[in-house]
Structure 1
Amino acid sequence: MEGKDPLATPLLRRSKPPPLAPLYAVSLLRTTATAIAMMPAFNLRVVSLGEAAGYDTAAVANAMGLISAFRSFTEFTAAPLLASWSDRLGRRRVILASALAFTLEATLMAVSTGLVMLGAVHATFGCFASGGAVETSCIADATPAGPKRAVAVGRFFTVIGAALVLGPALGGALLARVGGAAPFACAACLGLTAFLATAVALPEYLPPSRRAPKESAAMLPAAGVYRLLSQTPPLRWYVAASGLFSLGMALYGTVNVLWLKEAFGWDGQDVGHFLSAVGAAVITSQVLVLPGVLRISKGRESLVVQGAMMVHAFKFIGYAWAPNGKWVYVVLALSTPTFCAAPVLSSLCTRHVPATQQGLWSGSMSALNTAANVVGALIGSRLLALSLRGFLPLGSALYAGALCHMLAALCVGCASLSGDKKMSESHDEERAPESLHGG
Structure 2
Amino acid sequence: MPSTKQKYIKMREESDLSLEVILIIVLGVFMFLFGSLLFKIHMGDLAYNPDSTYGLFLVIVSFQIITMGKTPFGDLSRSWAIIIIGVLAAVLGMVSCFIPGYLSELVRILVGLILFTGGIALMLQLFFSKEKAKLWIKVPGILKQLIVACALVYGITIIGGLITLIPGITTDPQTAVILIIYGISFFYLAWCIQKATRIYPEEEKKLSLEKNPSKKFSFFQETSLPLSSAIIILVGTLLVLLGVLLFPVTSGTIPFSPDGQLGLLLVIVAIQMMALGETPMGQYKRSWLLIIVGLIFAALGIVSCIVPGILTGLIQILIGGLNIFGGVLLLIKRFSSRNEIKNSTSETFIVPPPVKKLIVTQTILNIVSIIFGLSMLLGGIIPGLVVAVVLVINGILLFALIILLQKITNIKIEMKKDASGG
TM-score, normalization by structure 2: 0.32
**Structure with greater Cα Rg:** 2
The structure with the greater share of residues assigned to helix is: 1
